[in-house]
Amino acid sequence: MELALSLLTVVAFALLALAIVTVLAPLAIAPIKALLRRDPGGAFVPHSQLVRSRLFATLYAGLGLVLLIGFQPHPFRRRDGPVPASVAGSPEVQARVAEAVAPRIQSGDLMGVVVGVVEPAGTQVFGYGQRRLGALPPDGQSVFEIGEVSRVFTTLLVARMAERRQVGLHQPVRELLPDSVSVPTFQQQPITIEQLATDRSGLPGAPPNRPRSPLEWCPPFHDPYGRYGVTLLHHFLSASDLARAPGSRIETSVLGMGLLAHALARVARTSFDTLATREICDPLVMPDTRVTLTRSMRDRLAQGYVICRGSYREWRVASPAHRCSYGALTGAGGFLSTANDLLSFLQAQLALRSSDLAAAMAETRRARYRGRGLEAIGMGWSVRLGSTAGGSVVWCHGGTGGTRCWIGMDEARKIGVVVLANSTADVDPLGFDLLRSLP
């Protein structure tokens, strides 16, 4: 999308320039023709030519304006260096974070980024860039869309409800849905709760029957799952078949994780947002981790951006991204959160603070199935085996139309890192590098 945005921004301004040239060209050329021909009548432009030029100019200008409205490009100047929003904490950690982040802020690849670090001694938060164009840098209280990182809350609910015997990990998800809804099988093999939680359900990554619109290619209007309601979800499940056996392959599925959250909410007889708030966010004191924005969160929301590839001198162009909602698939990517809240979450995961959710958390982090190379998966988490001197890294990443999020931890060293960015540049390498380099 970044390359398309670059090209279409150039096309939009070229069309507007062409519209101006198309209108003015006949008027500018007529006197030159009259002079060369020594026409005593002076310059003259036929009415039909004027009408034709204005018609084409209107067409060019209209197309250019449509592209500008659709993509809303905003020029911004690359910064000379990062401006920290928070400098509290260890100078050594601050220096490591600044060294890793500075080149990406200077290049303009990142609009704004918050890095949080959790250690046995406490937490530290560093913010760089801009929360929105022309604004101050983001900080630990800035609210970001976290995309697929939402799944770690969904799977934690699974583990918690399984602990209470409200659901069974090997229970077919069909048993949690209305009688009128069937769930696809493969040779009579049903999809289980555990298979949904580990991305092994066999369901497609995205629902094929989601409503589509040409506007979804425009970042200010991009919301691919916003109109995907429960009716469409149930219709797809009842009308589809699996192409392979459940459990035979690991494949990330927004549809599968969204279905899992929907089923859990039905068991609890409440909305998924309410269920997650009651069972996870409130007990862990995470007041800014929600599906629905509160008024306070809205005031602190970081605007997401798609940044064009390439630059002119010190200038780049960014298009503001629409905040993504996930409709019936909320549990797959619909949460918003802050660095402070996610650090609290990692503290509980690392047993740096006591929590009644400790056993359920450990269950989600456990490497259950081996993927490619050194990668394995738990429930909602990925596990990079033996990737640090201390042991394995448990991590998760996500993103929406204009944001990226990465959280990870090294259980052996009791350290964790949170990276939140309000642009679409990949922050996974930044997260892994920081986790490896921290003392």
Taking only the tens place, the pLDDT of each residue in 147-189 is 999 999 999 999 999 999 999 999 999 999 999 999 999 999 9
Average pLDDT, the chain: 89
pLDDT at position 38: 65
Domain boundaries 82-145+334-437, corresponding CATH code: 3.40.710.10
* Overall pTM > 0.85: yes
42 pLDDT more than 80: no
* Residue ranges covered by each domain of the chain: 2-71, 82-145+334-437
Contact 230, 262 (CB under 8 A): yes
* Among the ranges given (44-48, 94-98, 113-117, 417-421), the one the predictor scored with the smallest mean pLDDT: 44-48
User: In whole angstroms, what is the distance from residue 57 CA to residue 298 CA?
Assistant: 42
- What is the SS3 assignment for 239? helix
Instruction: Measure the CA–CA gap between 164 and 72, rounded to whole angstroms.
Output: 50
Average the pLDDT over 391-405 and give the result: 95
Q: Band the pLDDT of 277: cuts 50, 70, 90.
A: very high
Contact indicator for 373, 384 with CB cutoff of 8 Å? no
**Do residues 2 and 108 make contact, with C-beta atoms less than 8 angstroms apart?**
no
Q: What is the pLDDT of residues 360-397, one digit of tens each?
A: 999 999 999 988 878 899 999 999 987 655 678 999 99
Within 8 A by CB and 6+ apart from 105, the residues are: 79, 81, 82, 113, 128, 129
Query: 266 pLDDT exceeds 60?
Result: yes
pLDDT tens digits along 50-90: 788 888 888 888 888 887 777 788 777 766 555 555 555 67
> Could you report the per-residue pLDDT of 224-256, keeping only the tens digit for each?
999 999 999 999 999 999 999 999 999 999 999
